[in-house]
Chains A and B, each alone.
Chain A
Amino acid sequence: MLLKLVLNSSAHCAQPIRNSYRVCSHMQGSTRRMGVMTDVHRRFLQLLMTHGVLEEWDVKRLQRHCYKVHDRNATVDKLEDFINNINSVLESLYIEIKRGVTEDDGRPIYALVNLATTSISKMATDFAENELDLFRKALELIIDSETGFASSTNILNLVDQLKGKKMRKKEAEQVLQKFVQSKWLIEKEGEFTLHGRAILEMEQYIRETYPDAVKICNICHSLLIQGQSCETCGIRMHLPCVAKYFQSNAEPRCPHCNDYWPHEIPEVFDPEKQREAGISKSNKKSLRSRQH
């Protein structure tokens, strides 16, 4: 078994070779290439962990930085390969760097997630029993909702049903803010939905726990919390998936029932545009000429 191979200290497979850590990943018969871990990767992991969740642009910068520090002359691996390499090493520890896409505007994000759990162990040591139960209630409301959002009112109305110490509504409001600050929930105009990070971490758990209530995107087949739906046949798609699928299509039609797609088609996420917007917003005068 994989775990045994790696964790058994006498196993040939998990030997530090000078300062690189080589692991054979024999996972259920599939052959994977050997992962080699160097200080470039370690630094990358440390920094990624420190941030919890990062956007792709930052991840790329981070990667380049790590190369600069440890291995100036090496060519920087393609990010996907770089991460796959790391993941093949982390596999035996049931951790991986997972890539996701924010549901509202399609920004790619990365986080280090535990694979061996479908419970929310990362939350469990941070929050009290009643707080976790509040999260669970909010989660259920979000999953069951049509829009992917649960209103503050509806969540707070469930405060009496919480396990553990009694919680007042005022308290619950603050706990919800705690969830927002820790990036488990996002708040928009008094309504709450799951943060991209939470979706990354908990997708597996959510799909297993709520197999009937859960919504799936027709295009990418991942968990769907927010999205658009066909009014005829009911299939759903993430906004970024809609954007990609209907890109430059003058007459968008439902991929399932071919009926006219009635919603506004969002734009495909463009990392370059995003950055420019960010800079020009904050600084009117300088940084006018950006070299590309």
Chain B
Amino acid sequence: MPRGQKSKLRAREKRHQARCENQDLGATQAPVAEGESSSSANLLFGDRPQNLPAAETLSIPEALQGAPSTTNTIAPVSCTSSNEGASNQDEKSLGSSREAEGWQEDPLSKKVVSLVHFLLQKYEKKEPITKGDMIKFVIRKDKGHFNEILKRASEHIELAFGVDLKEVDPIRHYYAFFSKLDLTYDETTSDEEKIPKTGLLMIALGVIFMNGNRAPEEAVWEIMNVMGVYADRKHFLYGDPRKVMTKDLVQLKYLEYQQVPDSDPPRYEFLWGPRAHAETSKMKVLEFVAKMHDTVPSAFPSCYEEALRDEEQRAQARVAARAHTAAMANARSRTTSSSFSHAK
């Protein structure tokens, strides 16, 4: 059963103590509470980290907090013990008095670290990065220093990870990562022998798509066999094709391998996995298939139409995402308004 009040109170006290010992700049950066639906994200894991220079306190949790709830959740702790359930505003004023040694000289350092964490997360998830998001979640009221913070964060990431952050859309301020190390697709599937699963996967995706977005296992192997790839025969390139198809690529979420409903004896089929949907598109796969047949995508009319529709949907989704971000940003009226001249 959920924790009782008492133990939470005790937890708060302990943290409060630890916090007072380590000057914690988290407090100084406490944002003004604004009506914000995702406030409890902060409250969920509510308080800021206590024992470390609270770089992260300034980032995500803080960014998502709004009206501070001081009820049964872990409210941000301030250093004057009487304010256990202090609101952010209190904390802010109290915090600033704590901004004594060390951090003074480089108050942006914490933001830089927070931004590094934020960017790495985006990199890991292959999500788009906008200036608006960076400001909203990390930079916050330091947005006047955005360029400097971004520059320093980018430098660190570049030096440690070998990825470059570049602005790909200077009008809407979209950024993307580019690996300086020239990673190939095959590497990202973590196969150091560079087994080109790409080929197998693309063929499979093609068969699945052209078969109406699901393909019985037999159909897939039939095509593979034509290319000299057999499920149970060791392949000089792919190794164990059956394993690659039914396990590896499934585990990596590129494919889904499931029993055909109500099949008895059980038969299996392949579908696109979520990662395939995310990393490629029907059109791209169709282009691949067309190339293999030495022709063009429009040579497969119904598939081509479907691919076109898919492209349109994706474009619309992108627009909607941008608009949503813009709307959120405007509602909070904290972002630089210029960044969000509306996507068409």
Residues in B with CB closer than 8 Å to A136 are 44-45
Q: Quick check: A39 and B113 within 8 Å, CB to CB?
A: no
Decide if B55 is an interface residue (CB 8 Å cutoff): yes
Q: Which of B2, B41, B156, B240 has the most CB of A within 10 A?
A: B41
Contact B41 A129 (CB under 8 A): yes
Contact of B14 among A9, A141, A211 (CB under 8 A): A211
Contact B121 A122 (CB under 8 A): yes
Nearest CB of chain A from residue B39's CB, rounded to whole Å: 7
Task: Determine whether the beta carbon of A144 is less than 8 Å from that of B10.
Answer: no
- Residue-wise, chain B 159-199 has the 8 Å CB interface mask toward A (1 for contact) of 11111000000000000000111010001101110000000
At the interface, yes or no: A274 with Cβ under 8 Å from chain B?
A: no
Contact with B along A216-229 (1 / 0, CB 8 A): 00000000000000
Per-residue CB contact flags for chain A residues 21-53 toward chain B (1 = under 8 Å, else 0) read 100000000000000010100110111011110
Q: How many A-B residue pairs have CB under 8 A?
A: 222
- Could you tell me if B116 and A3 are in contact, using CB atoms closer than 8 angstroms? no
How many Å from the CB of B40 to the closest CB on chain A?
A: 4
Take A64-B192, A284-B232 as given contacts and tell me if A4 and B106 are in contact as well, using a CB distance cutoff of 8 Å: yes
Within 8 A of A (CB), among B35-68: 37-50, 52-57, 59-61, 64
Would you call B11 an interface residue if the criterion is a C-beta within 8 Å of the partner chain's C-beta atoms?
yes
Measured in the bound complex, the distance between the Cα atoms of B162 and A126 in whole Å is 25
A77 within 8 A of B: no
Q: Would you call B52 and A116 a contact (CB within 8 A)?
A: yes
Bound complex: CA A140 to CA B45 (Å): 12
At the interface with chain A, which of B211-219, B241-249, B264-272? B241-249
- Listed in ascending order, the chain A residues whose CB lies under 8 Å from chain B are 1, 3-4, 7-9, 16, 21, 37, 39, 42-43, 45-47, 49-52, 54, 58, 61-62, 64-65, 68, 89-90, 93-95, 112, 114-122, 124-129, 132-133, 135-137, 140-141, 144, 158, 163-165, 181, 205, 208-213, 279, 282-287
A114 to B160 CA separation, bound complex (whole angstroms): 15
Taking a contact as CB atoms closer than 8 A, the residue among A62, A125, A144, A209 that contacts B121 in the complex is A125
Known: A116-B113, A121-B56. A163 touches B190 (CB 8 A): no
CB <8 Å contact, A94 and B7: no
Chain B residues with Cβ below 8 Å from A8 are: 105-106, 109
Instruction: Indicate if the CB atoms of A21 and B160 lie closer than 8 Å.
Output: yes
Residue pair A285, B161 in contact (C-beta under 8 Å): no
**Whole-angstrom CA separation of A24 from B214 in the bound complex:** 55
Enumerate chain A residues within 8 angstroms of B161, measured Cβ to Cβ.
42, 45-46, 49
- A282 and B109 form a contact (CB under 8 A): no
Give A208 to B192 CA distance when docked, in angstroms: 39
* Interface contact B103-A47, CB-CB below 8 Å: no
Q: Report the minimum CB–CB distance from A195 to chain B (whole Å).
A: 15
Total residues of chain B contacting the partner, CB 8 A: 79
- The contact of A1 among B47, B64, B102, B152, by CB within 8 Å, is B102
In angstroms, how far is the closest chain B Cβ from the Cβ of A268? 25
Whether A118 and B50, one on each chain, are in contact in the complex, defined by CB atoms closer than 8 angstroms, is yes
Is B137 among interface residues, defined by CB-CB distance under 8 A?
yes
CB neighbours (8 Å) of B114 from chain A are 116
Q: Which B141-162 residues have C-beta < 8 A from chain A?
A: 152, 155-156, 159-162
Within the complex, what minimum Cβ distance (angstroms) separates B169 from chain A?
Answer: 20
Render B97-129 as a binary contact track against A, CB cut-off 8 A, 1 for contact. Answer: 000001101100110111011101101110000
